[in-house]
Structure 1
Amino acid sequence: MLKERTKIGLDAARKDGRIGGRKPKLKPRQQQEILQLVRKGKKTAADAARLFGVHRATVRRLLQKNLAA
């Protein structure tokens, strides 16, 4: 019964356009800026992470996702 109510609630939220999960730490514009800085060699991934106040792993994931695409 609990699973059913949870599923109904999640379906209703999706129908209203709400999605679950954590919000991204970096906005799309910030992500693009990081990609440009690192690709042009102006900043290392670690420097970019410090500049934007995120962990190095966040920048690494962003780079891997976008360099693979």
Structure 2
Amino acid sequence: MLFFFFRMMASMAELERDIISERTQAGLKAARTRGKLGGRPKADQAKLEYAYHLYQQKKLTVKEICDKTDVSRTSLYRFIDEQKQITN
């Protein structure tokens, strides 16, 4: 009897998860048709290039560069990796 109860609860939870997923997908599709894009906005290319220039000079720490240019650390490191791949 206890097994039946847990099985029913698991089935209801799975159904609820599926409903939430369907609603989320429908909302994303509706937003895309209205021209909305999800996710974080792309970093400004000019800021990234300036931050990379400062990084190459090796006079400032990464934290100081990020504070000065308002570029996130992750974006800066990603840009550095891209530049290394281009030059190799």
Q: Is the 8 A contact 2:51 2:71 kept in 1?
A: no
Partner of 1:29: 46
* SS of corresponding position for 1:2: helix
For 1:30-49, what aligned pairs fall within 5 Å after superposition? 30-39=47-56, 41=57, 43-44=59-60, 46=62, 47-49=64-66
Q: State yes or no: 1:2 paired with 2:20.
A: yes
Q: Which amino acid aligns with 1:17?
A: G
| 5+ residue gaps, structure 2 | 1-18
Rate the CA distance shift 1:55–1:6 in 2: closer, same or farther, 3 A.
Answer: closer
Q: Compute the RMSD of aligned alpha carbons.
A: 2.7
Look at both structures and tell me which one has the larger radius of gyration over its CA atoms: 2
Aligned residues: 67
| 5+ residue gaps, structure 1 | none
| Runs of at least 4 residues off by over 6 Å | none
Name the TM-score, length of structure 1 as normaliser: 0.59
1:31 is displaced (CA, Å) by 0.8
**Aligned pair partner of 1:62 in 67, 76, 79:** 79
> In the aligned structure 2, how far is the partner of 1:4 from the partner of 1:54?
35
> In the aligned structure 2, how far is the partner of 1:57 from the partner of 1:6?
28
